[in-house]
Amino acid sequence: MTARFFWIEVKDCFEHVSAKSGHEVISMTKKQKKVLYRIIIAAVLMVGLYFVPAEGYVKFALYLIPYFVIGYDILRKAALGILHGEVFDENFLMAVATVGAMLLGVYNESRGMEGEFSEGVAVMLFYQIGELFQAVAVGRSRRNISALMDIRPDYANVEDENGNLQQVDPEDVETGTVILVRPGEKVPIDGVVLEGTSSLNTAALTGESAPREITAGDEVISGCVNITGLLKIRTTKEFGESTVAKILDLVENSSMKKARTENFITKFAKYYTPAVCYSALALAVIPSVVNLIMGNPANWSTWIIRALTFLVISCPCALVISIPLSFFGGIGGASACGILVKGSNYLEALAKTKYVVFDKTGTLTKGVFEVIDICPSEEFSRSCAADPASGGASPRLVEYAAYAESYSTHPISKSLKKAYGQEIRPDRISQVEEIGGHGVTALVDGVQVAAGNEKLMKKLGISWQKNTGVGTVVHVAANGRYAGYILISDVVKEQSREAVAALKAAGVKKTVMLTGDSRTVAEHVAQKLGLDQVKSELLPAGKVEAVEELLGEKQPREMLAFVGDGINDAPVLSRADIGVAMGALGSDAAIEAADIVLMDDNPMKLALAIRISRKCLRIVTENIVFALTVKALCLVLGALGMANMWVAIFADVGVMVLAVLNAVRCLRAGK
Amino acid sequence: MKKTYKIEVDCANCALKMEEAAKKVEGVQEASVSFMTQKMKVEFAEGADERAVMQNVRKACKKVEDDCEIFLD
């Protein structure tokens, strides 16, 4: 697996270098190319020197050429570091190790033995190869992530006074400007559609491939791609306030909030490097001195070479680079799935989620009312059965209710109209009378229709049937006789049940639902979804209290995530360990208040986010354990003299390369 | 006031050093460097002259990591 990735990386490097194109996007920066040429020159020189029969100081002088070609910048940085009091860094380690190795060669020559100069050059050479590889790999993953988030619009089409289209910078478009978006173009700024119908591809924002149908009057979000029709849009925001700008800002800043593991490594490196340097010094001096005291030969050169090997092995690069890279890759991989994570710290916390608290409306349910049951009374059914023109009792009942409520804009009446499914003809209805808090009466096709709640039936002196379902009931009467009721309810999302089960499978201990809704509705939904606990009839402040109660209940290492739709949830989102806003397309408040934003309405994404976070942390742990184990092993071998410089080079560069390749896997964590 | 600057830095450790150095500059309240996005975010202290402060930040960073660059526009 890793070998394959390595091959791909290496192949890509060569392809990009050989492409050598000045204007295309190339994989290496100028600086990196320069290093590559230096590596090639130094490598060729080294191979050449192997065949040159030079001896003694001439050989040393010849080896100095590739040494300086490959290492001059490291030596310079090490010198500058010492001047500025920043002694212990990897440049210093490398400089001391290689200069030491070269001097040891000279020392051996001076005593008439054959000096070894190739090791010092090789260490420098491989160190540079490792650094170059790391820089290229990091650059590549950076570009991969930006490609995933390729939602930045380049221009907006604005009509000038002569009616000609002009392409302008989205940042220059003022709020309220009319812009045109052609098929294939990105919507540059949030706005409202004035003319045109089309499908929008929201995949770049949500990871969802199903297109979204829009028509005049609908709000559109920047970053979507217009697929089919020409759209005329009036902008409602400036570019900087638009969804696309906010998302880009969020993703770009996400690596600024560092995870605990990252901070740990920083601190670790601070103590680790000096500790290693002093150990190496001790290794070089103490055994020889002890030998001298004991009256044995001191063996200075043996112990010095061991100390130098020790230094090369100990370089902390593998950890320092691979951990931020892992988190960054995880955040990038998550954003490709429509999950925006605001910082590595949240990605880290997500893996420890044990409590998930949901808001009901808009999170587990669609937040849209729908007719879920139609119950005509027996009498009404009989009369409809007798009249073939009625088209059946249930459709008739809905038709009456939809007509009676047709002048209302209440969500209930919208759902009735939707259930009716046909156009309302105003000429069929007259004498509409709304009775506040009760319902409506109207004359539909000459039939006196009353539609409303129990209070309306009571007021009209009509006996009604008690309903058994959960939701809002609309009773309907025709010509003073009870015709039946229609049950309307907020519909549970199809994925909610599965999502709760997936969270349980991902190790979440407790799932809780909070809602302002009535107890019966809440308990019905909770039971249907398999939630552990439900708190109903809560005011917004009550939600904060409920979350605080749960926060007090849990262990400190367990994390509590609150999932809401971002509307009126801001206090709870910020109070929870991890605030998750769902369906954030269009809700600015959610993007601001939440730590994690699920771009579409699918609650399954939370379980996916937890899985990505787990995988990412597993990779981080793998890298820490792997790097430290190999290094510790090589350090011991080096101190005992069983590992030479070549093993040391593997322990440094090899481990770093493997750790980086492993870290790059985080990018694919969501797949 | 907060501002984000594009930077060029070669290694993660150097980025950390830059962050440490920038934080110590007078007029900087908080600084954060992202090696991955090659960006530096600086929060200035109240009343600080952003240009002058950034010149000092750049100098301080050059001192700890000599081939880094902060692009001040």
pLDDT of residue A4: 46
- Across the interface, whether the CB atoms of A256 and B64 are under 8 A apart is answered no
Backbone φ and ψ of A77, nearest 5° = -65, -40
For residue A173, give both structure tokens: 């478009």
**Residue A255: CB partners within 8 Å, gap ≥ 6?**
A324, A327, A328, A331, A343, A344, B34, B35, B36, B37
Do A488 and A415 touch, CB atoms closer than 8 A? yes
pLDDT of residue A586: 56
> Given pLDDT bands bounded at 50, 70 and 90, which one contains residue A12?
very low
pLDDT tens sequence across A196-241: 888 888 877 777 777 888 888 888 888 888 888 889 999 998 888 8
Residues of B in CB contact (< 8 Å) with A are 4, 10-13, 16-17, 32-39, 41, 63-64, 66-67
H/E stretch holding B8: strand B2-8
Q: Which of the two residues, A29 and A219, has the higher pLDDT score?
A: A219
Tokens 């950034």 correspond to B54
- Across the interface, whether the CB atoms of A131 and B10 are under 8 A apart is answered yes
Do A123 and A311 touch, CB atoms closer than 8 A? no
CA–CA dist B39, B58 (Å, integer): 13
Q: What secondary structure letter does DSSP report for A173?
A: P
- Across the interface, whether the CB atoms of A142 and B41 are under 8 A apart is answered no
Bridge-based pairing of strands A559-564 and A353-359 is parallel
Would you say residue A561 has pLDDT above 90? yes
* Distant-in-sequence contacts of A138-141, Cβ < 8 A, 24+ apart: A138/A321, A138/A325, A138/A660, A138/B35, A138/B36, A139/A27, A139/A28, A139/A29, A139/A32, A140/A9, A140/A12, A140/A27, A140/A664, A141/A325, A141/A328, A141/A329, A141/A332, A141/A664, A141/A667
Would you say residue A7 has pLDDT above 60? no
Q: What is the ipTM of this complex?
A: 0.75
E-assigned strand segments in A186-259: 191-195, 198-201, 212-214, 219-220, 225-226, 231-235
- Across the interface, whether the CB atoms of B38 and A142 are under 8 A apart is answered yes
Do A117 and A60 touch, CB atoms closer than 8 A? yes
Ranking A114-118, A165-169, A595-599 by mean pLDDT, the lowest is A114-118
CA–CA dist A343, A5 (Å, integer): 27
> Given pLDDT bands bounded at 50, 70 and 90, which one contains residue A145?
low
What CATH class is the domain A156-185+191-236? mainly beta
Q: What is the mean pLDDT of residues A135-158?
A: 76
For residue A434, give both structure tokens: 């709304």
Task: Give B-chain residues touching A142 at CB under 8 angstroms.
Answer: 36-38
Ranking A134-138, A542-546, B55-59 by mean pLDDT, the lowest is A134-138
Q: What secondary structure letter does DSSP report for A115?
A: P
**Closest by alpha carbon to A670, among A335, A194, A362, A268?**
A335
- Domain locations in chain A? 2-148+256-328+614-668, 156-185+191-236, 329-365+493-613, 367-492
Catalytic residue among A359, A517, A565, A601: A359
Q: What is the mean pLDDT of residues A181-206?
A: 86
CA–CA dist A167, A157 (Å, integer): 5
Q: What is the mean pLDDT of residues A512-530?
A: 85
- Across the interface, whether the CB atoms of A253 and B41 are under 8 A apart is answered yes
Phi-psi region for residue A315, left (φ > 0), alpha (ψ -120 to 50) or beta?
A: beta
CA–CA dist A274, A161 (Å, integer): 69
Average pLDDT, chain A: 82
Would you say residue A6 has pLDDT above 70? no
Q: What is the mean pLDDT of residues B2-29?
A: 84
Ranking A26-30, A246-250, A345-349, A640-644 by mean pLDDT, the lowest is A26-30
Q: What is the CATH number of the domain that holds B61?
A: 3.30.70.100
Ranking A11-15, A38-42, A62-66, A400-404 by mean pLDDT, the lowest is A11-15
Domain count, chain B: 1
Distance of CA A578 to the CA centre of its chain: 14
Q: What is the mean pLDDT of residues A33-46?
A: 91
> Given pLDDT bands bounded at 50, 70 and 90, which one contains residue A8?
very low
A-chain residue closest to B20, CA distance: A266
- Across the interface, whether the CB atoms of B38 and A90 are under 8 A apart is answered no
Do A214 and A220 touch, CB atoms closer than 8 A? yes
Distance from CA of A252 to the nearest CA of B (A): 6
Task: Give A-chain residues touching B67 at CB under 8 angstroms.
Answer: 73, 77
Would you say residue A282 has pLDDT above 80? yes
**Amino acid symbol at A263:** N
CA–CA dist A275, A345 (Å, integer): 28
Q: What is the mean pLDDT of residues A621-639?
A: 88
CA–CA dist A302, A317 (Å, integer): 27
> Given pLDDT bands bounded at 50, 70 and 90, which one contains residue A14?
very low
What's the CATH number of domain A367-492, 3.40.1110.10, 3.40.50.620, 3.30.420.10, 3.40.50.2000?
3.40.1110.10
Would you say residue A515 has pLDDT above 90? no
For chain B, the first-to-last Cα distance in angstroms comes to 17
Do B28 and B58 touch, CB atoms closer than 8 A? no
Task: Give A-chain residues touching B69 at CB under 8 angstroms.
Answer: none
Instruction: State the fold for domain A329-365+493-613.
Output: Rossmann fold (3.40.50)
Instruction: For the beta carbon of residue A434, count every other beta carbon within 10 angstroms.
Output: 15
Q: Which of the two residues, A640 and A249, has the higher pLDDT score?
A: A640
Would you say residue A671 has pLDDT above 80? no
Task: Give B-chain residues touching A252 at CB under 8 angstroms.
Answer: 34, 37, 39
Tokens 């450790």 correspond to B13
Q: Point out which residues pair with A375 in neighbouring strands.
A: A485
The DSSP line for A460-519 is HT---PPP-SSSEEEEEEETTEEEEEEEEEEEEPTTHHHHHHHHHHTT--EEEEE-SS-H
Distance from CA of A605 to the nearest CA of B (A): 25
pLDDT tens sequence across A344-396: 889 999 999 999 999 887 788 887 788 888 888 888 888 888 877 777 788 88
Task: Give B-chain residues touching A134 at CB under 8 angstroms.
Answer: 11
CA–CA dist A484, A467 (Å, integer): 10
Surface-to-core class of residue A490, CB atoms within 10 Å of its CB (0-12 exposed, 13-18 middle, 19+ buried): buried
Share of chain A above pLDDT 90, in %: 12
Q: What is the mean pLDDT of residues A172-186?
A: 88
Please confirm, yes or no, whether A359 is among the known catalytic residues. yes
pLDDT of residue A146: 66
Backbone φ and ψ of A160, nearest 5° = -90, -175
- Across the interface, whether the CB atoms of B4 and A317 are under 8 A apart is answered no
